[in-house]
Every structure is written in structure tokens, then in C-alpha cells.
Structure 1
């Protein structure tokens, strides 16, 4: 994991409609550095998840990427280059992210086929599981998704991301479906892994509390465009765009705090 930065340049995603084309993501440019968390925030439907999906060529039917590029340290990369090799994904719903009729061991085997693990790969798997708080790999590997809690499944998904040895992670609402205690544990885990392994994490979220806890920088999206970027302290204490101000004010109102003057 030696890459220093991942750059998204001029990304545009459109609907495929014989009556006309509509931009869902328009002109998005971002740089994610190793060892940082860049939070991509905005209301539902603002284009956050679509941006990640477009980079990895996993867009839903009826949409397509028409412009834009992704590069690693200045080297252009295809989606095939990125998926599971340079970028690992953590999804928001661990319960539906796993195939229900396959055990954790089978999911690991599939990840190792993509990552090209060597003879010592299973030792790395067990270490990755321990690093994510799954302290008894031999007990967990035979389990099926329905035999595990949501928190265990999310930790397993993070372990699979580590197995890939990808230097960057796209984490799309990684705590949305978890209770508050498990949310805190997962955020602590991601923060620890960022520091210990130097991972660059693109964190997709609408939860400004998660942003305050984990992010180093923030990019705010509205209607498919980036409307403001800045350090996390700047975003919370001196937001410029009206969309950013509304997000911060909504967050503070939940805790009955007044926004900074």
C-alpha cells in the first residue's frame, strides 16, 4: 500500500433516457490522500454514492459515466484497475452485502482470488480479522451471514477490505444500519486503521456527527456538484455555502447548540 493520492477529475454521470439526458453528477473533482478521511457529505440524492459507483464502474442500470477520470499518483486507472486492488469498498448495509448462502470462509476465498493472495494469505486473513475486532477467526469463518450480528458483519466487511491491501477505501454510510454503540466502535476502528495502516478513506455520509468524529477534510455535494470543500474545523465553524450552513445547523439543532457566529 504505497500510493499517495487518488484523484477524481471532472466526473459526470447521466441518466440514459431517450427523452433527454439528465446529469446526476456533474464536474466532480476530488483528491483523497493516504492517511486521511475525506468526508463526502450532502442530502440524500445529492450524488455522493453515485460518485463512488461511477469511479468503480458499478453504476445502477439506466445511468452511465460520460466524462471524468480516476488516477493514482497521477497514473490514469480503469475501474478494473481500481476495484479490489487500489480501492476497497465498505457498504452501508452489512446484512445485504453478503451472499446469504455462502460462509465467511467462501467470501474470503473470493476476495483472495481478486487480491491474488499467496501461500501465507490465510495468515493475513486471520490477522486482518483480529485487527478488526474479530478475535476468534476459526469460529467465525464457518459462519453464514444470518448467524452473525450487524456489527460482526461490518467488521468482517472491513477485514475483507484489509485483505485486498488496497491503499484506499470507499466507505458508503458504513454505520447507518448499526446501533449507536456499534457505530462508535466501527468509527473508532476506521480511525485506528487510518492511522496504523495509512489508509485513505472516502467517507460517504449525511451524518455530520460522523464527520465531526472521523473526518480530516470535507467536500459538500448538492445536486451532483461539489459546492464547498475545507478542513473539518472550517466546515463546522466557518461554512461558506448555504447548503453547508444548513447541514451544520441541522446537526447542531439536534444537540441544542447554536452555530458559530
Structure 2
């Protein structure tokens, strides 16, 4: 089957109904992601970045609803249940909370492989290959480990391996390095960049860190108050940000490096 080439979120609205009025958390948001590119979705905390991903995949918190909008894959509308784990894989910001604490890494991998409809006879080889590809030493040993036996960096690598096992052509990475130390952050970013390039994945990376944007992205969509207020190539975002929200993000990033040697 031919791999999907374009994912489009069209006129997405996410609403939290509350008493006599509703709060629109995402407002008429539209964007497209192509296979082989990294699109960064950036903005201050509370701007609606994570809600955009959750709304697109129909995994919103209780009480929050997608009031309108749809996701298109190569022009065809696909419901959230048809996207998750098959067309869109996810990598989350807190890997420890994403794993069942009483199931081993091999258990998690087998569940992904069942969803991906991989031949069960190939399960072990596929799992070990994926663990090795993301840089986990001794994949057979890792397969038998439980979440409490692993570091945050190891768990994040397993989560990326599970995304690869799914065979999904698109990846939503929601603040994938937030809870990791700086050295592990750099290694995870290098891994994501390498895998995206080699496998031709389309990645939507949600972040407030403009350093991550500069490292990974080709295009940037800036959110404020639930809406995209600017979208441009990454070089333009840093060289000539047009919207005040974008200018604030870039200025805050540059201020971190004031006084450092060139």
C-alpha cells in the first residue's frame, strides 16, 4: 500500500463547554504536513498546541470536544480512530506516564505490532530491530524491562521505537524532550532528525523551545489564543518574525544566549 504523502488539519475547533458559555481552545485552525518534513507548532503555554494534536486525533480530555473540523490524508477525510497508531504515531513529553507499569517493553511492542497487523512470526525480530535503530544497547535485555527499571531517556527511545514499529507515515511529537536532561535532550533531537530524514516521516513537533525549532524544523506555525497567527519557513521566523507573538518567542530565545561568545 502506498504511503500517505500529506496530512491536512482543516478548520479545527476545540471547545470546552462551561455553564452558560463555551471556551474555544482551538480556533479555526488549518495546517498541512508533508511526508519528509518537520513542522514545528510553537507558542506560549496555554496557546492551544497540545489541544490541536489531541483534537486532530480525537483524544481530548473529558468535557472538551471537537466542535468542528476534520483531518484529511491525501485529500480523504479520516476519523481520529483511523489515524491513531496507523497513520499518526505519537511521542509524548512524559514517557513514564505513557507506559503501563506492570507490562514489559516487549508487551508494549507486541500491542503496537498487533495494531499494525504485522505477522506475529516477525514480532521479535521487528521489535529488536526497532530498539536497535533508536540506539538502545542490548535490545533483547531492554525488551524484558519494566518502566520503573528504565531512565527517562531510555523510555523516550522506546516510545520512538514503538512509533517506528507502527509503520505510521506521520509522527506527532508533543514536547518530546521537556522532562529530560540537556545531554539526553540533544541525543533525542539528533535521533528524531535522523529518523525523519532516513524514513521520510512527516513530523509535527509541538514545542515552546525555539532551540528545538532551529534544530529540527523546516517550517513553523505560531499559535496564540488557540489560533495560528503566523506560518513561515524557519529561517524567516528567526530573521524577520512578523507577528508580536512570534517576535516575543524569538526575543526570549535570543536573550538566553546574550553575552555568550560567537
TM-score (norm 1): 0.97
CA distance in 2, matches of 1:158, 1:92: 12
1:156 equivalent in alignment to 2:134: no
CA distance in 2, matches of 1:72, 1:120: 28
**Deviation string for 1:42-99 (max 9, x for gaps)?**
0010000000001111000111001101011101101111000000000000121111
**Deviation string for 1:109-134 (max 9, x for gaps)?**
21112111113232122111111001
Query: Bigger CA drift: 238-247 or 93-102?
Result: 93-102
Does the residue aligned with 1:203 lie in a helix, a strand or coil? strand
Q: 1:236 maps to what in 2?
A: 238
1:178 equivalent in alignment to 2:177: no
Q: 1:67 maps to what in 2?
A: 68
1:94 equivalent in alignment to 2:107: no
Shift of 1:257: 6.8
Q: 1:3 maps to what in 2?
A: 4
CA distance in 1, matches of 2:206, 2:259: 24
Structure 1 pair 149–94 and aligned structure 2 pair: CA distance change class (3 A): same
Does the residue aligned with 2:66 lie in a helix, a strand or coil? strand
Query: Bigger CA drift: 169-178 or 105-114?
Result: 105-114
Q: 1:55 maps to what in 2?
A: 56
Query: Bigger CA drift: 119-128 or 45-54?
Result: 119-128
Does the residue aligned with 1:152 lie in a helix, a strand or coil? helix
Please give the root-mean-square deviation of Cα atoms over the aligned residues, in Å: 1.2
Contact kept? 2:106, 2:127, Cα under 8 Å: no
1:213 equivalent in alignment to 2:235: no
Q: 1:147 maps to what in 2?
A: 149
CA distance in 2, matches of 1:108, 1:128: 10
1:226 equivalent in alignment to 2:241: no
Q: 1:117 maps to what in 2?
A: 118
Contact kept? 2:110, 2:123, Cα under 8 Å: no
CA distance in 1, matches of 2:125, 2:259: 48
Query: Bigger CA drift: 192-201 or 16-25?
Result: 16-25
What count of residue pairs does the alignment treat as equivalent? 258
Q: 1:134 maps to what in 2?
A: 136
CA distance in 1, matches of 2:250, 2:139: 41
- Structure 2: runs of 5+ lacking an equivalent: none
CA distance in 1, matches of 2:132, 2:139: 7
TM-score (norm 2): 0.96
CA distance in 1, matches of 2:137, 2:4: 29
CA distance in 2, matches of 1:165, 1:154: 18
CA distance in 2, matches of 1:187, 1:161: 15
CA distance in 1, matches of 2:132, 2:76: 34
Does the residue aligned with 2:107 lie in a helix, a strand or coil? helix
Contact kept? 2:4, 2:73, Cα under 8 Å: yes
Does the residue aligned with 2:39 lie in a helix, a strand or coil? strand
